[in-house]
Amino acid sequence: MVDPSTFRVIVRARNNGTGYTYLITCTDDPVWSQGTNVFYPSPETAGEAGRAAMESLLTRLASPQQ
């Protein structure tokens, strides 16, 4: 069973300040993360994309493996 409370979406600014990305982390496994190489124009849009990606990830983790 997947515990959604262990996952976090972190929004990060690009080094040169021209975009934002998201990173999904898991507090139960500090070396695991999943992110994107897409740059979003604002922290809000990056956060929305990250939350959508996290929902998709949690759905895949919760479904029985075949």
Does residue 17 or residue 59 have the better pLDDT? 59
For the chain, the domains span 4-60
pLDDT band at 66 (very low <50, low <70, confident <90, very high): low
Please tell me the predicted confidence (pLDDT) of residue 6.
92
User: For 2-51, what is each residue's pLDDT tens digit?
Assistant: 788 899 999 999 888 789 999 999 998 889 999 998 999 999 999 999 99
Please tell me the predicted confidence (pLDDT) of residue 1.
64
Quick count: other Cβ atoms within 10 Å of Cβ 7? 19
**CA angle (25 as vertex; 21, 27 as ends), nearest 5:** 155
What's the one-letter identity of residue 38?
A: V
Query: What pTM does this model have?
Result: 0.83
Q: How far apart are CA 28 and CA 6, in angstroms?
A: 6
